Amino acid sequence: MPALADGFSILRWIHLVALEGPWAAYSWSAVRGVDQLISGVCVENLTTGKLSHVNYAAAFPSGGGLGSVNTIVVKHNGSVAWAADTGLYPPRLQVESDGIEGFRVVAQGPEIDADSLVLEGSSLTWIEAGAPRSATLR
């Protein structure tokens, strides 16, 4: 784990881990200052030890890193996708990715099953409102 992930303090916990080839993707939580809990996602190349992605767990228009990661997947090229609960009320879930095309919120809403995220090849799938949804992770 990096000594500093995007300027966050040293007090951190790793939660979910996904491995593919030389890539490790993991979710983390950190205490910033004395009472602010931040959550995020990192992707690290285990061969070089370098970080390729550092993102907040959930995207907010004003920034911030509340929420928690429910599922994380990583592709053989280091592209990553995750499903997170934003920690807001009413509940809002997001499916996000950071890959060749850059960071993007793929889907969001209260009817996403955040535990249903699966990656097969480049096809990212999840369940939303009881129906399968998909996107391409490049």
In tens, the pLDDT along 75-119 reads 999 999 999 988 776 667 789 899 888 999 999 888 999 899 999
Provide the pLDDT for residue 73. Answer: 96
Give yes or no for a contact between 86 and 134, defined as CB atoms under 8 angstroms apart: no
The order of strands in the sheet holding 36-45 is 12-20, 23-32, 36-45, 51-56
What pTM did the predictor assign?
Answer: 0.85
- 1 inside domain: no
The structural domain count of the chain equals 1
Q: Would you say residue 27 has pLDDT above 90?
A: yes
- The residue-averaged pLDDT of 45-49 equals 95
- 81 inside domain: yes
Report residue 2's pLDDT band, with 50, 70 and 90 as the boundaries.
Answer: very low
- 82 inside domain: yes
- 5 inside domain: no
Cα(136)–Cα(107) distance, integer angstroms: 12
- 7 inside domain: no
Please give the residue range of the domain that contains residue 19.
Answer: 12-136
- 63 inside domain: yes
- 129 inside domain: yes
